[in-house]
Amino acid sequence: MSDAATEQGRDRARVDAPLKVSGLAPYAYEHELEDPLFLVPVLSTVATGAITGIDAEAARAVPGVALVLTHENAPRLALPTIPTLAVLRKPRVRYRGEIVAAVVADSLETARYAASLVRVDYAAPPSGPDVRLDPEDPGVRPLRRVMGVYPGQHTVGDVDGELAGAAYRVEGHYATPVNHHNPIEPHSMVALWHADLGPLATVQPRSTRLTVWDSNQGVVAPQGVLAGAFGLLPTQVEVISPYVGGSFGTKGMPHPHVMVTAMAARKLPGRAVKVALTRPQMFAGTGYRPETRQRVALAADEQGRLRAVDHEVFAPVSRVIPWVDPTAGPSLSMYASPTRRVSYRAQHLDIGPGTFMRAPGEYTGMFALETAMDELAREMGMDPVELRLRNEPEADPESGRPWSSRHVATCLTEGARIFGLEQQQQPGGRREGEWLLGMGVASASFPQMGMGPSLARITFTGGRYVVSMQASDIGTGAWTVLAQIAAQALDVPQDQVEARIGTTDAPYAIIAGGSTGTFGWGSAVVEAAQAFRAEHGSDPAEGATTRARTRMPQGVRGVRRMAFGAHFAEVAVSEVSGEVRVRRLYGHFDGGRIMNPRTARSQLVGGMTMGLSGALFEESYRDPRFGHVVNADLAGYHVAAHADVVDIEVGWVGEPDPWMGATGAKGIGEVGIVGVPAAIGNAIFDATGLRLRELPFTPVKVLEAWESSGPAPAATVR
């Protein structure tokens, strides 16, 4: 077998690493353009109401100000757009922090100063904004669908009967807070309307009218949204996004600043308009992981086999877009049970809409489910790994379809062996000075959804093979892995292949989301490489090119595809301060074929780090009177620092999944975060006997739990 034939699976350094570490990789805001202008948005200071007046005279008088944009002079949109982007159209406010004006000037400092001079008057409703979370509010109602795909109400069998007659039963109420995305690159964009095109350019499908440099998870979304809004053909909107400094869901769809910046640039043709949101502005209007309140009840027989799974979810949603994560999804598919019930309720509030955040639904739902499984294991006196193994389903419990592949048992048993999982029969039996020690385990899963086919083009030029598509590298290593996939399929060394991605002049590709990128894009690359060889042979002429699309195996709709894993945690809990320190984290994953161990490990360790951060620190506080996030910056919204991440390691099964297309790879970008909070919470119980059912596990919550349950347990010193 040639070296090229084994290119997939090799540990390869990222091809974009030299540019990034040297600061030469241009992110959206950093593209150099002649004489750019700078935009600063003005945000509403009320959560709901009418705009009765805007005084922008002082702002317009500032030297260097080119434009003050409001609903009074904003360009009218050609077509309706998604509700979040319907900004500067009417004199109204729908949530605190909505963009109500924008100032464009010749320097960022001038724009900021002028924006501070804009005065907006509001007429708020007499009752004030409705922003207070209340599960008993009379306006709370059940949901029929979640994200338009998942059932909002679903029942199989007599759940109540099984719960009433169960040999063992546990029931708990669990809560997760609002979490906000904080990628290292803020939301940013540059928009340029070309001024040198005549009026007939709108009927020339290849005449670019608008060029956008944007930070996103896929260029196709802003291209389509902006084309529709301004009455252009998609081919007349060029989007360039070669490097993205993280996203985690927040850049999956355009946010209001994209529309406002394009509007401002439309009124200033020939001048590039730049915007980079501050952290507080991102907290106000670029989405978040919604808060949840959950109830989970489990019933089991004397052998530990589940008889019922009952999962209720309550969440506040925005009146703009009622976004709800599919939180109860894991309870439908993770374990075998003859009866199951999931139900969702939502409260509509005057708040900004949520959006995707890494592992939406699975992250919050698996915290509740896997904590409840640990509670059941403790109730029965059964090993927590064994309890999970006894409830492994032979087929997907929700649909009855066979698994494409499922190696949960291997992840649990091999992971426990490598980690050295050893829980105490009686919590609180291990101590080092003031620190009580414990271990915990939790399973993880994430569905492998299909977002449609992608296209890839391979061209031979200058002695190299260039694979191009609209794929987006949001930090996942797509630049590297796509070249590896192409090199193996073409049977050439990787240094003869380069990727060109992140631009709309490449063939269409799905966005980088839902852990679909590598297997979806990769299958298109393999198909294109095989077609290239069939058309042009092994000695292609200069300029030889071929294009092909993603192809999944026939019958793929008849199987259930998911990525799986198991998380293991060791914690130390201070009986003095209540602080929780995670000493070790280990994850073992069923992610199909691993295309590049280095980038795969980076993805999984990154997910686990994010899970640790959410478990211990992350929580957005929304003022219940005014609707704004109080701790809307990285001084108040704490994320894990280097000192918090001590020992994290991963392993994997590595067996290709034949139903995942030509690569055999599953998605791994999200499964790494899913079970971490539950594993840490279960380890806290093992250390202290305290069952914490609300994230994050702050010192205050630990001390309050101890106060309500009595003094810390006596323990032996090891």
Give the pLDDT confidence of 417-449 residue by residue, as tens digits: 999 999 999 999 999 999 999 999 999 999 998
Please give the average per-residue pLDDT across 495-515, as a whole number: 94
3-state secondary structure labels for all residues of 451-505: CCCCEEEEEEECCEEEEECCCCCCCCCHHHHHHHHHHHHHCCCHHHEEEECCECC
Say whether 570 is catalytic: no
Q: What angle do CA 281, 282, 286 make, to 5 degrees?
A: 125
Q: Is residue 655 part of a domain?
A: yes
Q: Examine the pLDDT at 5 and tell me if it is beyond 60.
A: no
- Taking alpha carbons only, the member of 697, 439, 459 closest to residue 568 is 439
Question: Does residue 149 carry a pLDDT above 90?
Answer: no
Looking at every residue in the chain, the average pLDDT score rounds to: 94
pLDDT at residue 715 tops 50: no
Element (H, E) at 318: strand 306-318
How many CB atoms sit inside 10 A of residue 544's CB? 16
| First CA to last CA distance, the chain | 53
In a domain, 132, yes or no: no
CB contact at 8 A, 102 and 260:
yes
Of 484, 519, 550, at which residue does a domain stop? Answer: 550
Of 667, 706, 468, 484, the C-alpha closest to 580 is: 706
Do 606 and 565 sit in the same domain of this protein? yes
> Angle of helix 362-380 relative to helix 676-688, nearest 10 degrees?
30
DSSP 8-state secondary structure symbol assigned to residue 554 = T
Instruction: Note whether 571 and 498 are same-domain residues.
Output: no
Q: Are residues 691 and 716 in the same domain?
A: yes
Q: Per residue in 315-361, pLDDT tens?
A: 999 999 999 999 999 999 999 999 999 999 999 999 999 999 999 99
Rounded to an integer, the average pLDDT of 363-369 is 98
Same domain, 207 and 99: yes
Query: Whole domain around residue 659: which residue ranges?
Result: 401-449+560-718
Specify whether 466 is located in the same domain as 515.
yes
How many CB atoms within 10 Å of residue 135?
11
Same domain for 544 and 514: yes
What separation in angstroms does the CA of 510 have from each of 456, 528, 560?
11, 16, 21
* pLDDT of 69: 98
pLDDT greater than 80 at residue 716: no
Residue 629's SS3 state is strand
Q: Which amino acid is at 580?
A: V
Same domain for 567 and 708, yes or no, is: yes
**In a 3-state reduction of DSSP, which class is residue 88?**
coil
Whether the model pTM is above 0.75 = yes
CATH number at residue 100: 3.90.1170.50
In a domain, 44, yes or no: yes
Mean pLDDT calculated for residue range 604-624: 97
Residue 487 lies in a domain: yes
The length of the chain is 718
Split into its structural domains, the chain has a count of 4
Q: Are 309 and 298 in contact, with CB atoms under 8 Å apart?
A: yes
Q: Report the CATH number at residue 486.
A: 3.30.365.10
Q: Which of 649, 670, 704, 707 is catalytic?
A: 670
3-state secondary structure of 663: coil
Of 256, 282, 308, the position where a domain reaches its end is: 282
Arithmetic mean of pLDDT, 213-237: 95
Q: Which of 282, 298, 320 is the C-terminal boundary of a domain? A: 282
Is the same domain home to 459 and 476? yes
pLDDT digits (tens, 9 = 90+) for 526-583: 999 999 999 999 999 999 999 999 999 999 999 999 999 999 999 999 999 999 999 9
What is the predicted pLDDT for the residue at 714? Answer: 43
- In-domain check, residue 473: yes
80 secondary structure, DSSP code? -
Q: Does residue 362 lie in a domain region?
A: yes
Find the mean pLDDT for residues 209-215.
97
* Interval 110-117 mean pLDDT: 98
Which of 101, 400, 98, 295 lies closest to 694, judged by CA? 295
The answer to whether residues 113 and 232 belong to one domain is: yes
Residue 555 lies in a domain: no
193 plus 229 within the same structural domain: yes
Q: Degrees (nearest 5) of the Cα angle 316, 681, 620?
A: 35
Residues 494 and 609 in one domain: no
Least confident of 76-80, 142-146, 269-273, 406-410: 76-80
Instruction: Please write the tens of the pLDDT for every residue from 34-62.
Output: 999 999 999 999 999 999 999 999 999 99
Q: Is residue 715 part of a domain?
A: yes
Q: What pLDDT does 204 receive?
A: 66
517 and 431 in a common domain: no
Q: Which of 389, 375, 591, 350 is nearest to 481 (CA)?
A: 591
Supply the pLDDT for residue 657: 96
Mean pLDDT throughout 369-387?
A: 98
Which residue type does 526 have?
V
Least confident of 77-91, 386-400, 631-645: 77-91
Of the pLDDT bands very low, low, confident and very high (cuts 50, 70, 90), residue 4 is very low
